[in-house]
Amino acid sequence: MKIIVMDMWSHYRDVVKLLFPNATIVVDKFHYVRQIYWAFNKVRINVQKDIYHTDRKTYNLIKSNWKLLIKYSKRIKKRRALYSLRHRKYITAFGIIDECIQSSDLLATAYSLKEEFYDILNNSTINNIEQNLDNYIFKLIELRIPEFKEVISAFTNWKQEIINSFIPNNYIVKNNKPGTFTNGYIEGVNNFIKVIKRIAFGYRNYDNFRTRILYIHNNKTA
């Protein structure tokens, strides 16, 4: 099986289907997960705008803890209560999250949708992801939250490619489980090259640029 991993730009998909008709197209998880991130963040920002003039305390609470709200709750490590100057009491990260989402039904629903998707992402396999994804899309359609409209469109248009991202990658084994296909390494290298170029304010000589990239990259991975 030939696998091609890409982001969610339709022209890439068109070219691959034309030149490699038998290849299996996979959307890198980073690119469809951030659709959820963007949708939830839009809800958070809109809720903040709505309460800015009426409840400045809650506005500041949500705004100052946006990174905590974005994070998947099962990956939050600080479970011990810490003293908060803002709250003037000991409170856990989950206590802060509860205070934030209890201030708005819309924010609470969006938070639940975000968490549900992360659960699907972490617990699904190639055997059940299609059903789980269909159920999730149907739920979004029923809720009719404007900020999630683009998620519905993206997940519907790229459904098969998202499903394909759950194909086991037996070349990478982690915790006795096969990994997934990703272009994360390539994107990392591209960003690394951009940093080199930016630091040097550009290169006039291509050979010097290439030599610099190879030298730093080889020493970095040595």
- Residue 114 falls inside a structural domain: yes
Cα separations in angstroms, 191 against 4, 47, 65, 207: 20, 34, 28, 19
**58 and 127 share one domain:** yes
**53 and 141 share one domain:** yes
Percent of the chain with pLDDT over 70: 92
**132 and 155 share one domain:** yes
The closest of 103, 102, 104, 45 to 70, measured between CA atoms, is 45
- Residue 110 falls inside a structural domain: yes
**57 and 155 share one domain:** yes
Sign of the Cα torsion 102, 92, 56, 51 reads negative
Q: Alpha-carbon distance 91 to 79, whole Å?
A: 9
**140 and 215 share one domain:** no
- Residue 62 falls inside a structural domain: yes
- Helix 149-157, helix 129-143: angle, nearest 10: 150
Inter-residue contact 71 to 94 (CB < 8 Å) = no
pTM: 0.83
Q: What are phi and psi of 3, to 5 degrees?
A: -110, 135
**42 and 108 share one domain:** yes
Q: What is the pLDDT of residues 30-64, one digit of tens each?
A: 999 999 999 999 999 999 999 999 999 999 999 99
Grade residue 214 by pLDDT with cuts at 50, 70 and 90.
confident
The closest of 183, 25, 39, 178 to 117, measured between CA atoms, is 39
Average pLDDT over residues 108-119: 98
**Distance spanning both ends of the chain, measured CA to CA:** 31
- Residue 98 falls inside a structural domain: yes
**127 and 61 share one domain:** yes
The β-bridge partners of 27 are 6
pLDDT beyond 80 at 3: yes
Sign of the Cα torsion 184, 188, 189, 191 reads positive
- Residue 206 falls inside a structural domain: yes
- Residue 89 falls inside a structural domain: yes
Determine the residue type at 70. I
**188 and 88 share one domain:** no
Report the pLDDT value the prediction gives residue 199, as an integer from 0 to 100. Answer: 84
Strands 3-6 and 82-84: unpaired
- How many structural domains does the chain have? 2
Residue 92 belongs to domain spanning: 29-171
**47 and 151 share one domain:** yes
**124 and 92 share one domain:** yes
**209 and 153 share one domain:** no
Strands 3-6 and 24-27: parallel
**91 and 138 share one domain:** yes
Average pLDDT over residues 23-36: 95
Q: Alpha-carbon distance 117 to 67, whole Å?
A: 17
Phi-psi region at 201: left, alpha or beta (left = phi > 0; alpha = psi -120 to 50): left
Q: Where are the beta strands (DSSP E) in the chain?
A: 3-6, 24-27, 82-84, 89-91, 169-174, 177-179
